Structure 1
Amino acid sequence: MAAPADATTKGQALALLAAAKNHGDLAVKLSSLKEVKEILLSLEPSLSAEIFPYLRELCLSPEVLVRRSLIEIIEEVGLRMLEHSYVLVSVLIHLVGDNDPTVAEKSISTGTTFFRSILEKMETQFHHHGKVDRWCVNLWTLMVMFKDAVFNIALDLEPGRVVGVKVLALKFMETFILLITPHASDPEKVSTSSEGSRQMINISSLAAGLPMLNLTGLMSEVNQTLVRLGSFLQAPTLIQDALPIAVIDCLAVVARKRPVHYDTVLSVLGFLKCTSSPIVESRDLLLRAFPAMDPADVSDQVVREVDELFRVNEHAANENRSSQILEVFPTLSSLPVQLRDHLQQMIHWLDEAIIGDMLPLYERRNDMRQVLDRDRRLRCLFKRFYDEDRARNEAIAYLLDHPEDGHRSQSEQIYGFSRVRPAVWVRCRIKNQVKMGVLIEFLESSVTVQSLGTVYSELPDDVGAEDIHKIVVLDIRFGNIDRNLGNLLVQAEPRNGSAAHLVPIDHELSFFNDAHPYITCGACWIKWLKKIDKDFSSQLVNYVAALDPDRDLEFLRHCGWEPNQRYIENFTVFATFLKKAVSQGLTALQIGLLASYKWEEDLDYNLHCIVASVQREDNNFVESVGTRIEQRLREFHENLHGNA
């Protein structure tokens, strides 16, 4: 019975396409195309594919808006029905050379998305089945044609091509280089399998199983492309308007994200630092073009960027001569510049301390070493671990302790809201033995709360509720099961009568607890809050409201670590609990008790019990837990209000 309906729907689509082609009213044409798109999305992919060939004629439509609408159909329908999109992609390639710049730009942008998606699909198929379907191979052949067409636009020095089109073509070249160049830890090349798990695109492995990819040829083309881009800059009279800055930006991104190309990029950009007379003349022509394009004197910015590339490269070269650092997390290139430099300096101190044998024991602890600089000043502590996950947790706690001015991925501030000390997970070589641990910035003029003789029920002098609240937010958010007087630092001698600040340390037991999941174990601050429990400040409420666990998890991937499913679940549940509890107006003490294993009142409101009440078979377990948390916390708040 479905066949007649399908035939009728196909007839409707063809009639609408005829209207889009022949009707005299542009509005009718565009509305017809919109209906065609809805029909294509509603049909089975194999049935929609029967209609795709009739879209070809619209390439010749004299109306720019019709051709742009055609590209929108190709993008939305084709990416959903990738297996059947051969005809659509061939139409897209034709439109790359469209005379209208807006059509050409849209074609390049959409084609770039297809290029990435098809490469990811090939990787997914090869990863799971050891082979790639024929339809995918055929699409890759079209992608090579698309790549050639866009490269011709980008590398065309003849005047007349609209700048915006060429800039987008250059951005595609950048994407091509990043995708083709092997780099195991780069989030640019993370794909999502059919099962929903994320994995890295392994270009080398894929090419080994698919000779038609011709990785050698592609890499050769990458290198030639980098050199051609450099030749643009050395002939500035041949390139127009905004293209010089686009070329330099492209090269700088490639150098930062693919260190294997550092030498090539530096040799390409090196003429900007050269003093040879002919090259100086060419360089000056180039730099004089920038101020006319941007009144902020972009030339200085470009030279600074090139200087930065040279500086980083020279520093890396010096490090590699004798570096004992084998591996670090986070990947420093993924961080804002000021933060990256700060952590790099810490790593440099550790490397020098290893080489100079300046790693004495710290407080007679065999697992803790002092990291001294050349003047024998204590700069950092290196804490050795045997458990990689626990060591990494220290670095993660720092990364996710976002500064008050924004997410860590975008903020140049070094210290976060709860004052977690800067930390880097490190694998290094010490006296010819590989050691693994965490490098933590040392805090001067501080002691542990425990060393002050404070007992659990006593609040340290000069410490206020706001300071405790920041620790509460950190511990609940990270599911910390080990907060005690020995892992809270406090200023020994507050200056000028100012309040002392608590500084949390030792976060290795955060983020997971297999024995007692979804609890925090008797944090010392619970007893303090029983004496000074107050409402959260608006500053803290706003901070918690801005927390985004999905963004945090993506940031960790960008920093070079893929969280497992257990980690994702725990982290998301704790963050959800904290955000919903604060939004309900609960106090720090109430939140801490609800998350504690010592909660002895109605267990319906205990976080552990709330999570346990949701069936594991639920396909949307985390979302269901979030809904249940919101429901129970609302009931808890209403009961409190009723009792009041």
Structure 2
Amino acid sequence: MQDASGNKYISIFKPIDEEPLAVNNPQGLPLSTNGEGLKRGTRVGEGALREIAAYILDHPKTGPKFLSCNEIGSGVPPTVMVQCLHKAFNHPEGFDGSDANIKTGSLQMFIKNHGSCEDMGPRDFPVEEVHKISVFDMRTANADRHAGNILLHKDHETGKIVLIPIDHGYCLPEKFEDCTFDWLYWPQARQPFSQETIDYIKSLDAEQDLAILKFYGLDLSAECARTLRISTMLLKKGAERGLTPFTIGNIMCRETLNKKSIIEEIVHDAQNSMLPGTSETVFLESVSRIMDAALDKILM
């Protein structure tokens, strides 16, 4: 979307009904037969909510922010839910300008950039820039982090490179099956976290995050809330043991399509150890014990 002059991009609007596999998706993709999105553990029509949740959860180092806060965390652009009317959107049944043509979706601020990380090799990316995105992706169990949705901005005077993460419609899934982190293959991922980043990770609180999302009207499903709790738990335990983003990320991502990841195995083992009717608190305590054993084994 452009400003009134038509010379400057200011925002990006993503209608809910035009998401992949949704009823009005402009790519002509078949409709989802079971409500599941392109990524396992996500649902068609929830992408906009996840985009907003990603912005709310992108805490700066000073702690959780309000939507009007100018401080940034990993750099997720400000994102809100809006209603929008325009003939350029996909209207299969025609556009007459009536209320029936109004679209609901996420509106995200357009950030000036010099392309995406697909356009250049990762060699010159600052370690802290890669780490800030790795922390965010692991914490939210992002199922769609590829180099194309990390924008790059380079200051012409200082040469400083800043990475900007976008497209978070597949974060906070109901399960870990499709976690994908392209930065795993970048050399910076094998570098240890700085003390500042470790302190930031220590400050993360999944229960507080869930309360903040609820305050803004985003009440996650029990399955998605569990994902946030477990991914935050893993990130904190991994950082405490001095593990790199590469090691922690590999625990969350599948080695092959049909082989469960370590985090999936941990969750599976915890589920098998529980009696019917077990509380979520007791289940998470079981996950914590099994996770500790798995991490200690990695460190041996």
Task: Please give the TM-score of this superposition, normalised by the length of structure 1.
Answer: 0.37
CA distance in 1, matches of 2:219, 2:126: 38
1:380 aligns with 2:8: no
Structure 1 match to 2:25: none
User: How far apart, CA to CA, are the structure 2 residues paired with 1:625 and 1:495?
Assistant: 51
Partners of 1:537 and 1:449 in 2: CA distance: 23
What residue is the counterpart of 2:181 in the other structure? 523
Superposed, 1:181-200 pairs within 5 Å as none
Aligned-residue offset at 1:507: 0.4
Corresponding residue number in structure 2 for 1:397: 54
Secondary structure at 1:436 match in 2: strand
Counterpart amino acid of 1:440? Q
What is the CA–CA distance in structure 1 between the aligned matches of 2:298 and 2:140, rounded to whole Å?
26
Q: How does 1:122-201 map to 2 (within 5 A)?
A: none
Aligned-pair CA distance for 1:607: 0.4
Alignment correspondent of 1:538: 195
Q: Name stretches of at least 5 consecutive residues in structure 2 with no aligned partner.
A: 18-43, 87-96
Are the aligned partners of 2:13 and 2:105 in contact in 1 as well (CA < 8 Å)? yes
CA contact (8 A) 2:266 2:291 kept: no
- 1:436 equivalent among 88, 98, 104: 104
CA contact (8 A) 2:177 2:264 kept: yes
Q: How do residues 25-36 of structure 1 correspond to structure 2 at under 5 angstroms?
A: none
Tell me whether 1:468 sits opposite 2:130 in the alignment: yes
Aligned to 2:164: 503
Shift of 1:564: 2.4
Residue 635 in structure 1 maps to residue 297 in structure 2: no
Decide whether aligned partners of structure 1 residues 537 and 510 sit closer, same or farther in structure 2, where only a CA change above 3 A counts: same
Q: In 2, distance between residues paired with 1:576 and 1:599?
A: 24
Instruction: Supply the AA of the counterpart residue of 1:380.
Output: S
Say which structure is richer in helix: 1
Offset at residue 519 of structure 1 (A): 4.0
Matched, 1:548 2:210: no
Aligned to 2:76: 420
User: 1:416: how far off?
Assistant: 2.5
Seen in structure 2, the aligned counterparts of structure 1 residues 599 and 564 have a Cα distance that, compared at 3 Å, is same
Letter in 2 for 1:540: T
Q: Could you tell me which amino acid in structure 2 is paired with residue 592 of structure 1?
A: G
Report the CA distance between 1:521 and its aligned residue: 3.3
Equivalent residue number for residue 220 of structure 2: 563
Amino acid paired to 1:482: D
Aligned partners of 1:553 and 1:568 also within 8 Å: yes
Q: Report what 1:445 is aligned to.
A: 113
Q: Which amino acid aligns with 2:75?
A: R
What SS does structure 1 have at the residue aligned with 2:10?
strand
Answer whether contact 2:151 2:166 (CA < 8 A) is retained.
yes
Distance 1:485 1:501 in 2: 14
Aligned-partner Cα distance in 1 for 2:201–2:105: 30
Partner letter of residue 533 of structure 1?
Answer: R
1:612 to 250, 262, 268: 268
Say how many residue pairs are matched: 259
What does residue range 259-270 of structure 1 map to in structure 2 within 5 Å? Answer: none
Q: Which residue of 1 aligns with 2:148?
A: 486
Measured against aligned partners, the alpha-carbon deviations of 1:362-403 in whole angstroms (never above 9, x if no partner) come to xxxxxxxx2324574321121223243111110110011011
CA gap 1:552/1:628 in 2 versus in 1, 3 angstroms: same
Q: 1:376 to 1:494 in 2, by over 3 A?
A: closer
In structure 1, C-alpha distance between the alignment counterparts of 2:2 and 2:192, rounded to whole Å: 41
Q: 1:528 and 1:449 mapped to 2: Cα distance?
A: 11
Counterpart residue identity of residue 111, structure 2: L
CA pair 496-622 structure 1, distance change in 2 beyond 3 A: farther
- Native 8 Å contact 2:130 2:189 kept in 1: no
Map 1:4-403 → 2, pairs under 5 A: 370-374=1-5, 376-386=7-17, 387-403=44-60
Q: Is the 8 A contact 1:520 1:595 kept in 2?
A: no
- Normalising by the residue count of structure 2, what TM-score does the alignment of the two structures yield? 0.77
Deviation string 1:140-178 (CA, Å, 9 cap, x unpaired) is xxxxxxxxxxxxxxxxxxxxxxxxxxxxxxxxxxxxxxx
What letter is aligned with 1:560?
G
The corresponding residue for 2:235 is: 578
The 1:619–1:467 alpha-carbon spacing in structure 2 relative to 1, beyond 3 Å, is farther
Which residue in the other structure is 1:64 paired with? none
Indicate conservation of the 8 Å contact 1:573/1:622, yes or no. no
Q: How far 1:628 moved relative to its partner?
A: 3.7
- The CA deviation string for residues 276-323 of structure 1, in whole angstroms up to 9 with x for no partner, is xxxxxxxxxxxxxxxxxxxxxxxxxxxxxxxxxxxxxxxxxxxxxxxx
Rate the CA distance shift 1:519–1:466 in 2: closer, same or farther, 3 A. farther
Contact kept, 8 Å, 1:371 with 1:381, in 2: the verdict is no
* Larger relative contact order (CA 8 Å, sep ≥ 6): 2
Q: Using the alignment, how far apart are the partners of 1:382 and 1:434 within structure 2?
A: 13
Q: Distance in 1 between matches of 2:4 and 2:297?
A: 58
1:380·1:442 contact (CA, 8 Å) conserved in 2? yes
State the one-letter code of the partner of 1:495.
H
How far is the alpha carbon of 1:610 from its aligned partner? 0.4
User: Once the two structures are superposed, what CA deviation does each residue of 1:612-642 show, in whole Å capped at 9, x if it has no partner?
Assistant: 1123645445434433443344334434443
Which letter maps to 2:264? H
Deviation (angstroms), 1:462:
2.5
Structure 1 distance, partners of 2:279, 2:235, is 18
Secondary structure in structure 2 of the residue aligned to 1:371: coil
Q: Provide closer, same or farther for how the CA distance between residues 462 and 625 of structure 1 changes in structure 2, counting only shifts above 3 A.
A: farther
Q: Does the aligned pair in 1 maintain the 2:183–2:189 contact within 8 Å? A: no
Superposition RMSD in Å = 2.7
CA, structure 1 residues 532+418, in 2 after alignment: closer, same or farther (shift >3 Å)? closer
Identify if the C-alpha distance between structure 1 residues 463 and 482 changes in structure 2 by more than 3 Å, giving closer, same or farther: same
- In the alignment, residue 449 of structure 1 is paired with which amino acid? C
1:106-161 per-position Cα deviation (integer Å, ceiling 9, x unaligned): xxxxxxxxxxxxxxxxxxxxxxxxxxxxxxxxxxxxxxxxxxxxxxxxxxxxxxxx
